[in-house]
Chains A and B, each alone.
Chain A
Amino acid sequence: MTSAQDLPAPLLVLDSICKTYPGVVALRDVTITVMPGEVLALIGENGAGKSTLMKILGGVIAPSSGRIIIDGLAHDRLSVAQSQGAGIAFVHQELNVFDNLDVAANIFLGRELRSGPFGLVDVRAMRAAAQPLLDRVGARFGPATSVAELSLAERQLLEIAKALSLDARVVIMDEPSSSLTLKETQVLMKVIADLKAQGIAVIYISHRLGEVEHCADRVVVLRDGQVAGGLTRAEISHDAMIRLMIGRDLKALYTPPARPLGPVILELEGVRNSTNPNAAASLSVRAGEIVGVAGLVGAGRTELAEAVFGITRLRGGSVKLDGAPLDISSPRSTIAAGVYLVPEDRKRTGLVLESAICENISMADLGSVSSRGLVSEARLHARAEAQRTRLGIKTADVDRKAAELSGGNQQKVVLGKWLSMRPRMIIFDEPTRGIDVGAKAEIYRLMRELADAGVGVMMISSDMEEVIGVSDRIVVLREGEVAGALDRADFSEHNVLKLAVGAH
């Protein structure tokens, strides 16, 4: 198999792994080798099978066939305990934190530190041991914080800290940075470098190719459940990775607006939220432009979007759509006005995972596929099929549960829900979180199309490449306030970060 005799023995080998789900072949004969101390990036489009492969390695699911060889010992399948015992730590793509426990308890869950004659939990020792881990990932919360109070990004940092706490030889990170902003991502890169220096191997999954380019020693690309190829350190480049992932080149991210800027569509005036009740944010979105909203973790962007969409109450200020006050008393009223939100957490708020794809697409607008209160199955399906074709949702049929789709395809279903209606203004909150480059480009194209059609587009994003690459104007939030706005000419990572952090 591997040709080189002079290489050290591989740490682990995933040998001819196959995995089938009812209706899907997720993995087909995948063989991957991991060497000690290397950073192996695993990339591929949504649904390529990356998470599935890692779950097999993490002992969460069993392969249909194939072997897992660790230290020369072959296993047909692993249990979570076996996997952990073999020194494999796993940062899951879906966040697996417990919001009824505190940070330290989460980090040491399953491996609690004990003391005393009865082996009771040693809370103090765990908190003490957790603090350095939190420092390492640059977390601004303490080990005694209740997880219920953490934002999505903070929870992601917690997951990384948890993986570090394991005495691991391999750390799997399945999209650890999907909610992280530049600052935390930089910390993460440093963490990876540290691990590498200690001889710990890292399997890194990300759709942010910049990060991959920055940290990977080797890249393996999955496509449709099979290995599409690999790249050595020297070969790694954006273009090369994209070519392997989607089999063709990709155009530049940014397309300029096709028409001059129109009138103001959405206008926020002194909007105040409960987390930062003294900070007021004012911003506006004009027809024809894409407004990017940047900020550090917890800057209050999601909160702002949810308040405008009618989920949470505003504590002050006004919201106008096309110059007239917008009724933001409930999502129902904002949806009726044509203001839509693509939420940050699609598992929790974007989709009804246990419902069929077609149900999800018509969820917000059943009225138009029904007559006299009764739903027409035919119209429901026609509408879903239309979106499936338009967005390229990868699925055997639209009657499948949304839960069975990969993350990216799930996001497309959320988009399909809104695009099949009459948008006036769409707020995208982290629209490409966990989405592959191919789909990302599609989504950017869609946003641009919407803007060109006169729909207001606001894009909240923590992905710097994306904010800079896609927006026509960037508004930076800091602790609930608008710290400043940048026009295209002034775009740079440095400028965005300066505003986000505050000029101290």
Chain B
Amino acid sequence: DKPQLAFVVNAASDFWKLAEAGVKKAQEELPGYDLQFRYPVQGTAALQNSLMDDLVAAGTDAIMISSADPKNSIDAFNKIAAQVPLFTTDSDAPASNRIAYLGSSNTAAGVQAGEIAVKALPDGAKCMGFVGFLGADNAVERIAGFRQAVEGKGIELVDVRGDDVDFGRARSNVDDVLAANPDINCMVGFYSYNPPKIYEALQAAGKLGQITVIAFDEDPITLGAVREGSFAGTVVQDPYQWGYQGMHLMAKYLEGDKSGVPADGLIIVPTKVIDKDNVDAFEAELKARIGG
């Protein structure tokens, strides 16, 4: 049997479709391996950890995981790491026995978003944030990064509204803020689906362009809005590379080639700011990857 490599993500989301494309690409180049891309039934650490248990039991040889709750999954990670090589992606658990982390820094991404805001709002502003899970690590880090970057620049992130990844609520949260807080002149969408909901709500209220929007990730609506000039910009990670490089990394590691793992165990794939100037090039690249 071929060795099996698994990529386990934290929840179902379009974002991971890109990583899946990267994994597919890697599969073409790694015919000697059987690559799997797994979604958990729900986005909880408990389910992810038992999914990993089952994968190991079913004979998987190496796992790369984006944990929903890495800080508190150290023991579960160590249990897995004792049996097969374990890598983290998206969010790290440096205290565990994982081999390496491959991904971007959410704090850095937050800072980049803050910088977009500073550039677009030289006169200061009152911002409202929107996110799926307020308590999730990536949300906490992005929010912190954003706050750090706008500190002392007259820009204030007044509040962040959570919606539990319910798109209906994501939309009505924006509607309600538009109704209840007329002083808000800047909005930040922290999860990939938040900016499109902001876009739709602003469009319905006829306020496109009046409120500065800073986005995360590369939803087609987000990119469209950036191109149109309705959004100031978006910060994108590169999940395609996580999937692509991650699989190669694990395959090499299993073959005994450990050169891909740096001393500090951190392989950072930098996040990029996409604005009106580079959006077309970026979108073309995306299309090529998913199409291919």
Taking the complex as a whole, does A directly touch B, i.e. does some CB pair lie under 8 Å apart? no
Residues of chain A at the chain B interface (Cβ within 8 Å):
none
